[in-house]
Amino acid sequence: MKMDIHEILRKLPHRYPIILVDRVLEVVPGERIVALKNVSMNEPYFMGHFPGHPVMPGVLIIESLAQACALLTYVTLQPKEGDGTLFYFAGIDAARFKRPVMPGDQLRLEAEMGRVKRGVGKFTGRAIVDGNIVAEAEMMCAMRNTSEAA
């Protein structure tokens, strides 16, 4: 299964400037996802991180991975669109950054789903540029219904 940006926007609540997945190349429900984030000089954070030497903040690389994990969870658990279901980033362990990500890079976001229990999924993810791992982490994503929280 593949997803373009329109399908991604139907599944994730994120919008500019925080939508950090541009395309899904492959998703196998309950198993894995491969997605892309094109890193452009037009990203708003490059104005201050760092002037003269733009580097994508590590937390945004991890957020890109978390959004890919949310998409995998969505496809796996299949909530109804528009029912108030959100996927929250619930935890991170063993995050490592191997090299800077700069404008013009394309992040290949790969994540595998571990177990899912009571709407909380565990994942192992890595961000890759030109075949080299630039970041990796273990993450958790929690599915919650916003209409029940009110």
Which is it for strands 106-117 and 85-97: parallel, antiparallel or unpaired? unpaired
Among 6, 14, 49, 53, the one annotated catalytic: 49
Amino acid letter for position 34: V
Helices assigned H by DSSP within 78-144: none
Catalytic annotation present for 53: no
Which residues partner with 142 through β-bridges? 88, 120
Cβ count near 116 (within 10 Å)? 16
Residues taking part in catalysis: 49
